Amino acid sequence: MPSTVPDGEAMTRLPLRIAALLASFALALAAPASRADSLAAVPPLQGGPYAVGCSSVEQDFSRVPPGENAEWWWEGVPTEDGTPRYLTTLLSTSATPVLTIPVPDDSELYGPHAGTSVQVVIIVCYPTDADNPYADYALPTGKSVPHMQRGGDPPLFASARARWPVLLYSHGYAGSPISGDYVSALVLLASHGYAVVAPFHGDQRIANLRLEDASDLLNAIANFSKFTAMQAVRPLALAAALDHVLGSPGWKDRLDATQVAGFGASQGGESLMLMAGAKLTVSVGLSSKQVMSDPRLKVITSYVPYFGQSFFPAFGRDQGGVDDMRPVPVLAISGTADTTAPIGTTEQAMRRLAQSRILVALEGVEHGFDDASRDDIFTWTLRFLLAHLQDDRSARATLQRMERVEGGGDDRRVIDYTAPAPASGGERIVVEFQNDGLAHFFYTADAEEAAMLDAGVIVPGWRRTGFAFKAWDRDDASGDASCRYFTSRSGVYSHFYSIWAPECAILAADPLWRFEAQAFRATLPTAEDCPAGRMRVTRVYNLMDGGAPNHRFLTSASEIAHMVDEDWLVEGSVFCTPP
């Protein structure tokens, strides 16, 4: 366990420095010149294996007055005199789900809409078999809704599985699920095996604003109560849409209520964060308030998510409202040239998260859908969903190691941490602790030891950092045993872990280091690379800063980069571990 040994032995620190440097030098000799990861670049994912069917959005387009277009009704654009428009006016069948959503009587969140109700239309697109007899439904935009149900037609799910995961789809401000590129994205996601549930938010019925740059946000602030209400109503619509499909005949028996994720574009990214419990900014003083905290939402993915502006963040002062979120994994994909949803504001929120999180930057991309980055957007999204929603362990390992998608635009990770999946069988979670007073890190796979440190009674001053990796139990037959050594001389104390026999031998021969235990088991990388299906753990070294050797063992590239900025040395990949 960590120690708090005071000064007591008047021994020089030089032998300790030599021992630590010898260990680092030994590893360096074994390390190859290249540190490339075989999973750093992954091939793009495009259309999925399933045909797609959709629920009814059948409309009578003759009701659209001359000089107008149907999209205004889908998006809730009011007339010049303020008369509301919404899709319900165009619907030609009662088969289209129209939900009436009660708005809580909370004027701080919902302004003039508090205590009222809002109607929301939804569409559901889902995997179906190729022989689905339902015809496509042509839209006046030139797009179409594939294999659309009409009248009382039931949904015809693909026969490949009994229940399908649910993906809530929240479009951007003033959009709709069937406008522009949204409908193509909806269908693509469904083709990969998701029942995609999408409300027509009709935002402009609540707040008729523009949100294209900082000057537009100032106008939104001038209409603050409506702007806040529009944001707060959106997660209500998502929750109501989920209630509907999980409780309706034809849907509830084919959907997996334990696998619910979300994909949000622009404002839709914010809506999903609010649904998961993030607090919404409710005053110009940047106070914040929670709209809801829905435990059914397990994963969030988003493209160019709107998290506010630097001077007016969406989640309260310094984005502190995300601290109250449920610990759902979050993927955000942002453009570096986006002024509507600046990547810096998104990064501020993402850095506060403790759960699995990835922020991907698309170089030079502005707000809106970037067709050149299509493969990047959907490959990151689908791999994230596969890893965290469907608990595909191999996908989780790939996600931890991938840096970019082959081809497409210029994508790169800015923030990343992929937490290990829950341990099972002979697996153990190796938890990282930090002592702020010592500026040292410590690792344990022993649940009782971790609980002792959490209590802070016997050995005070240690806290969890939020980082961890998985290994095998020290008594398991998998992998190689990790030696755990401890040193304490003249107030200099630290722990060291290795599964490489020559390193363990160096410390065993040095009287300054004491063997404590075999801590866990893992496998050695080959040429610093791990096989597919394994996570890659990298070791960084503090170069004896403060007079004591200390190492971190990390699976996060962004945290490794942070330690390099703090003048730590990257020693290389040292463990291959189960995901």
Per the prediction, the chain carries an average pLDDT of: 92
Q: What pLDDT score does 547 carry?
A: 81
Residue 358 structure tokens: 């990835």
Nearest to 277 by CA among 296, 261, 293, 294: 293
> 219 pLDDT band (50/70/90 cuts)?
low
Cα separation, 118 vs 100, whole angstroms: 6
Q: Is 246 helix (H, G, I), strand (E, B) or coil?
A: helix
Cα separation, 409 vs 166, whole angstroms: 28
Q: What is the mean pLDDT of residues 344-365?
A: 98
**Is the sign of the CA dihedral 394, 395, 396, 397 positive or negative?**
positive
Whether the per-residue pLDDT at 76 is higher than 60: the answer is yes
Assess contact for 371 and 30: CB atoms under 8 A.
Answer: no
- Model confidence, pTM: 0.93
Cα separation, 80 vs 530, whole angstroms: 61
Cα separation, 284 vs 155, whole angstroms: 46
Q: What is the mean pLDDT of residues 432-460?
A: 93
Q: What pLDDT score does 458 carry?
A: 86
Q: How does pLDDT run across 9-18, given as a tens digit for each residue? A: 322 333 344 4
Percent of the chain with pLDDT over 70: 91
Nearest to 78 by CA among 93, 89, 62: 89
Q: Is 196 helix (H, G, I), strand (E, B) or coil?
A: strand
Burial of 392 (0-12, 13-18, 19+ CB in 10 A): middle
Size (the chain), residues: 579
Q: What pLDDT score does 27 carry?
A: 43
Assess contact for 468 and 429: CB atoms under 8 A.
Answer: yes
Cα separation, 211 vs 118, whole angstroms: 22
> 25 pLDDT band (50/70/90 cuts)?
very low
Burial of 556 (0-12, 13-18, 19+ CB in 10 A): buried
Cα torsion through 374, 124, 258, 237, rounded to 10: 100
Assess contact for 211 and 142: CB atoms under 8 A.
Answer: no
Whether the per-residue pLDDT at 44 is higher than 80: the answer is yes
- The amino acid at residue 86 is Y
Locate the domains of the chain by residue range: 14-39+422-577, 51-308+341-351
Residues 6+ apart with CB under 8 A from 533: 393, 394, 397, 579
Alpha helices by DSSP H, listed for 370-455, are 374-388, 393-401, 447-455
Cα separation, 255 vs 78, whole angstroms: 36
Q: What is the mean pLDDT of residues 42-63?
A: 97
Element (H, E) at 47: none
Residue 372 structure tokens: 């050149």
Alpha helices by DSSP H, listed for 276-357, are 343-350
Q: How does pLDDT run across 226-263, given as a tens digit for each residue? A: 999 999 999 999 999 999 999 999 999 999 999 999 99
CB atoms within 10 A of CB 98: 15
Cα separation, 71 vs 85, whole angstroms: 10
Residue 16 structure tokens: 């300790």
CB atoms within 10 A of CB 473: 17
- The amino acid at residue 423 is A
Q: What is the mean pLDDT of residues 142-154?
A: 96
Q: How does pLDDT run across 82-97, given as a tens digit for each residue? A: 999 999 999 999 999 9
Whether the per-residue pLDDT at 180 is higher than 70: the answer is yes
Distance of CA 5 to the CA centre of its chain: 41
Q: How does pLDDT run across 379-432, given as a tens digit for each residue? A: 999 999 999 999 999 999 999 999 999 999 999 999 999 999 999 999 999 999
Cα separation, 118 vs 110, whole angstroms: 12
Instruction: Tell me which of 99-108, 210-219, 378-387 is least confident.
Output: 210-219
Cα separation, 302 vs 304, whole angstroms: 7
Assess contact for 536 and 495: CB atoms under 8 A.
Answer: no
Whether the per-residue pLDDT at 330 is higher than 90: the answer is yes
More confidently predicted of 468 and 491: 468
State the maximum Cα–Cα separation within the chain, in Å, rounded to a whole number.
Answer: 93
Cα torsion through 468, 471, 472, 474, rounded to 10: -80
Considering the domain delimited by 51-308+341-351, tell me its CATH architecture. 3-Layer(aba) Sandwich (3.40)
Cα separation, 478 vs 424, whole angstroms: 13
Assess contact for 481 and 518: CB atoms under 8 A.
Answer: yes
Q: What pLDDT score does 111 carry?
A: 95
Assess contact for 195 and 167: CB atoms under 8 A.
Answer: yes
Whether the per-residue pLDDT at 8 is higher than 60: the answer is no
